[in-house]
Structure 1
Amino acid sequence: MKSSPAVRALGAAVGAALLQIVMITAFAWPSAHLAPRRVPIVVAGPAAGPVAERLADARPGAFAISTRPDEASARKALTDRDAYGAIIASPSGPQVLTASAASPAIAQQLDALAQQFAPKRDAAAGAVPAVRDVVAADPDDPRGTGFGGMALPLIMSSIAAAALLTFTVRRVSWRAAGVLLFALLGGLGSAALAQSWMSLLPGPYLAIAGVMAVTITAVTGTVAGLASLARAGLGLGAVVFLLVGNPLSAATSAPELLPRPWGEVGQYLPPGASATLLRSAAFFDGAGAARPIAVLAGWTVLGAALLALGARRGRAGRAATAPRTPEPALT
């Protein structure tokens, strides 16, 4: 029994309204609740113990504090992506080290935190401890807004490519070839755009292009693979990667600033893994790249498996519908 146009219109309007609420919640809620939640930082120097205790008492739950013997080891913790910042407790007064390339948002919070460690006589005079940026963000994008702005178009274009391949290419095997070609061209083109005209990412060009190509392969391949099994797979892929993965990617902040456990969950989806891997490749010589590489590789394998399954179903369907050659009549 067919529903009336009025019922279909009502259903479409209600569905669109619910989708709008979900999208607003997904994109606005994480940003509205940004706060440090066990952000890894180190305290080094002869007075590291008392400073660490003071910091833990002042901001309970905000930082995961570890100690290092000296400034050199504290700097290494930042360059290895083991910590976002460091406090050097020296006899001449504390110093604060940051790594704005890892997260400009956390670096700004550590800048403000430096004022709390100024001696009272210096604080009264308006003096604060020196803040040094050990691994600085790109000078053309010091607040990371451009870097964060790349995340959404990269994921949206990958989903759009999967939809385009699904509706224009009949055979799943050729869709898989289209995914690889798009990933190659998209990775090379996006990296060139980000490094040349926009000047958003330093680092080796081929490494940046490789990260983008793997991200495109993971997203486009998985969505195209889901769609090869059922057209509803396009919607499922958009929900997982766009409505869930992109807001939880922490591309403009840091996973430790998002409400728990969502910041950690986001790192196991391609948008979050891609943002982390891009930072590692562009600013940290690959430090901290192991987990995001594993995550993107896992999604890529999943996409390949789904496409292979879709291709197999397609061959079986064609074989079932192929006309049979009539047997010759016996004389």
Structure 2
Amino acid sequence: MNAALHAPHTPWGRTIGLGVVLSFVVCIVVLAFSWPSVTLDPKNVPIGISGPAQAVQPVEQALNEAADGVFDLQEFDDRDAAVQAIKTRDIYGAVVLGTTPEVLTSSAASTATNQLMTQLHTQVLASAQQQADAAAQAAGAAAPTVTVKLTDVVPLSDNDPRGAGLAAAALPLVFGGMIGGVAIAFTVSGVWRRVVALITYAIVGGLAITGIMQGWFGVLEGDYLLNVSAFSLTLLAMGATIVGFASMFGRPGIAVGPVLFMLIGNPISGATFPKEFYPTPWGEIGQFFPPGAGATLIRNLSYFPDADSTFPIVVLACWAVGGLILTGLGHFRNEASVGEPETAPEAVTA
């Protein structure tokens, strides 16, 4: 009698096949999270250069030869123009040549590019000192000590000088968007109830996350409500997409969220490294997913109010609206299929 209660054993073929499939899934997860870090290689990082033509030309030539395509040099009329370009996130830093050479950087834009600009500062200082030594030797005079100023135009918060807190918030935000979407898809029925649950979750979640990141930890700056809107829109974009696919395809649709956001979008989001560090075109592709667009929008609103945030807002809005549309379509499609009258069988005539 007890034997009858036991479920039949899983066939050996299915057992081995499941083990192979699961190991393949693990390999994909490892590849998704390790590949971007392993292949990081800065290329065409936009930086500015300003100064007299006779000073700019040799520096440009030296950088192009030594950096091997790392920098995309853009000339500016003066220091003020370069500073404004940094504040609008058109460039990550600049070299200002003249009577007092200066290297401009922006740690709030990226700690990785800030390190590049710090290294560039050392190179510019060494080059300027060599030129001064050569001129002094030719004139038979003592060589002066050259100084090159390093200025952080847009620094990180004093509570997060290395940017660790801002970067660390990216992964929990992705988890938060997915958890909300999965929970609502499983527990809430009715299209309008799901929509209200998503919007409520996004707003309350945005208020809570911003309160922690800005009010408690102090790793964000800028307007509190604007930062709330960035977090809320990001949560809504991911949550609505998951609920939308679940409404259309049932439980299998819930798997779309982890695949799109965790395995694809998060590793190339640019939250830790800028898009110029990823192999082309993956850095740009990452900005079309909610993790990348959300990270960019949060950084812009917090530290770069002069930057144009239209693109990340549009990306997040498209994901959010698309998810809500799928939620409605799935609901009404299911209602239509349930409400279809049964077709009476045709009468059999003799």
TM-score w.r.t. the length of structure 2 is 0.86
The answer for the alignment partner of 2:118 in structure 1 is 111
- Structure 2 CA distance, aligned partners of 1:28 and 1:128? 41
CA change 1:8–1:296 in 2 (3 A) is: same
Equivalent residues of 1:104, 1:142 under 8 A apart:
no
Q: In the TM superposition, what are the counterparts of 1:81-230 in structure 2 within 5 Å?
A: 81-92=89-100, 94-119=101-126, 122=129, 129-230=148-249
The answer for the alignment partner of 2:338 in structure 1 is 318
Q: Deviation at 1:289?
A: 0.7
TM-score w.r.t. the length of structure 1 is 0.91
- Structure 2 CA distance, aligned partners of 1:87 and 1:50? 13
- Structure 1 CA distance, aligned partners of 2:258 and 2:145? 51
CA change 1:222–1:72 in 2 (3 A) is: same
Equivalent residues of 1:34, 1:258 under 8 A apart:
yes
CA change 1:112–1:264 in 2 (3 A) is: same
Q: Which of 283, 286, 308 is the matching residue for 2:303? A: 283
Equivalent residues of 1:42, 1:85 under 8 A apart:
yes
The answer for the alignment partner of 2:64 in structure 1 is 56
Q: Deviation at 1:36?
A: 1.5
Equivalent residues of 2:185, 2:242 under 8 A apart:
no
- Structure 1 CA distance, aligned partners of 2:155 and 2:341? 61
Equivalent residues of 1:49, 1:67 under 8 A apart:
no
- Structure 2 CA distance, aligned partners of 1:198 and 1:295? 28
Equivalent residues of 1:155, 1:241 under 8 A apart:
yes
The share of aligned pairs that are identical, in percent, is: 37
Q: Deviation at 1:321?
A: 7.1
Which letter does structure 2 place at the counterpart of 1:57?
E
The answer to whether structure 1 residue 308 and structure 2 residue 346 are counterparts is: no
Equivalent residues of 1:171, 1:314 under 8 A apart:
no
The answer for the alignment partner of 1:20 in structure 2 is 26
Q: CA RMSD in A?
A: 2.1
Deviates most, 187-196 or 117-126: 117-126
* Higher-Rg member (1/2): 2
Residue segments in structure 1 that go unaligned for 5+ positions in a row: 323-331
SS in 1 for 2:288: coil
The answer to whether structure 1 residue 75 and structure 2 residue 83 are counterparts is: yes
Equivalent residues of 1:100, 1:135 under 8 A apart:
yes
Which letter does structure 2 place at the counterpart of 1:10?
I
SS in 2 for 1:249: coil
The answer for the alignment partner of 1:11 in structure 2 is 17
CA change 1:128–1:59 in 2 (3 A) is: farther
CA change 1:5–1:146 in 2 (3 A) is: farther
The answer for the alignment partner of 1:257 in structure 2 is 277
Which letter does structure 2 place at the counterpart of 1:130?
K
Runs (4+) of structure 1 exceeding 4 A deviation are 123-128
Q: Deviation at 1:128?
A: 6.3
Equivalent residues of 2:50, 2:78 under 8 A apart:
yes
The answer for the alignment partner of 1:239 in structure 2 is 259
Equivalent residues of 2:87, 2:306 under 8 A apart:
no
The answer for the alignment partner of 1:33 in structure 2 is 39
- Structure 2 CA distance, aligned partners of 1:45 and 1:120? 16
Which letter does structure 2 place at the counterpart of 1:99?
S
- Structure 2 CA distance, aligned partners of 1:3 and 1:235? 27
Q: Deviation at 1:78?
A: 0.4
- Structure 1 CA distance, aligned partners of 2:98 and 2:203? 50
Q: Deviation at 1:120?
A: 5.0
SS in 2 for 1:235: helix
Q: Which of 274, 277, 291 is the matching residue for 2:294? A: 274
Equivalent residues of 2:102, 2:150 under 8 A apart:
yes
